Amino acid sequence: MKIAVIQFEPIFNQKDKNLSKIHSYINNIDAQLLIFPELCLTGYYFLNREEVNEVAETSNSDFIMELQSLSSRINKGIVLGFPEKDYKKQYNSCCVILPDENKSRIYRKTHLFYKERFCFDPGDSGFFVIDYPEWDVNIGPMICYDWRFPESARTLALKGADLIVCPSNLVTNVWQSALSTRALENNVYIAVSNRIGSETRNGETLLFNGDSTIYDYKGNVLVKAGPDDEKVIKVDIEPKKTRLKSFNEFNDIFKDRRPDMYKIK
């Protein structure tokens, strides 16, 4: 199965421009699953809930419906970050759109970073895994700052993920060794799609530092983009190889767990 991570610079509040770029990537990249950055439909640095509300999409908006019909027509999966609204709530979400629309779902970011708390509600979807028999893969989404919590990747792996997809807008470099470790300790692939460029709001600049990476299930870097280049990175993965959790005759990283010893009194 071939997966691709798209590293690019979404332009703040230029939804149409961003969307036409996204569509052109979807149409032109030869891979089954395409993973785009967090909030890449709109850009990242919102200051308040009202700003988000103006551009947020509902789960049944034309934007989602069009991505779904495109996905079904060309048989490609699309993971993509966007601001979502649902009645009075709004979320930093990503859609996992698969050609079989019954499998498509939206993940709502669990752990909110920095000033996101002024713009979004904490996600309520929980961590889930989508099994996609046609490609023999189990896909688990998380978003950016979720990486800081080993529970995110662990939960996805225990729920059966072979591949963790992580749309991101990372503003530090400290995540790289952590995500390599998350891949190793869970024996899963991890695909981090980060954006590049910067956004300045109210005199504060956030610099997004690229380095999008796909890790194999031993924590090795399979392919990596640079810190500031627009780039598509692609790799063939073998999802079923992640399912054997033993690494010698006696040890299995899941069966050896001792959850009763992890209880905090």
Tell the smallest beta-carbon distance from residue 18 to ligand ACM (Å). 17
Token look-up 């380095």 returns 211
Whole-angstrom Cα distance, residue 242 to residue 258? 21
Minimum CB separation of residue 144 from ligand ACM in Å reads: 3
Q: Does residue number 171 form part of the binding site for ligand ACM (CB under 6 A)?
A: yes
> What are the C-alpha distances in Å from 213 to residues 49, 153, 237?
31, 16, 14
Q: Given 38, 57, 84, 116, which residue is catalytic?
A: 38
Whether 64 contacts 97, CB under 8 Å: yes
The reply to whether 192 sits near ligand ACM by the rule CB under 6 A is no
Q: Could you tell me which stretch among 120-128, 165-173, 227-235, 242-250 binds ligand ACM (CB under 6 A)?
A: 165-173
User: Is 67 or 144 the residue whose CB approaches ligand ACM more closely?
Assistant: 144
**Residue closer to ligand ACM (CB basis): 123 or 219:** 123
Under rule CB under 6 A, residue 144 binds ligand ACM: yes
Examine residue 233 and tell whether it contacts ligand ACM (CB under 6 A): no
Q: Please report, for the chain, how many H helices and E strands are present, in that order.
A: 5, 14
How far apart, in whole angstroms, are the C-alpha atoms of residue 44 and residue 7? 14
> Per CB under 6 A, which of residues 61..100 are in contact with ligand ACM?
none
Q: Does the footprint of ligand ACM cover residue 113 (CB under 6 A)? A: yes
Q: Which of 34, 25, 20, 19 shows the shortest CA–CA distance to 235?
A: 34
Let me know if 134 is a catalytic residue.
Answer: no
38 is catalytic: yes
113: CB partners within 8 A, 6+ apart:
144, 145
**Catalytic annotation, residues:** 38, 109, 144
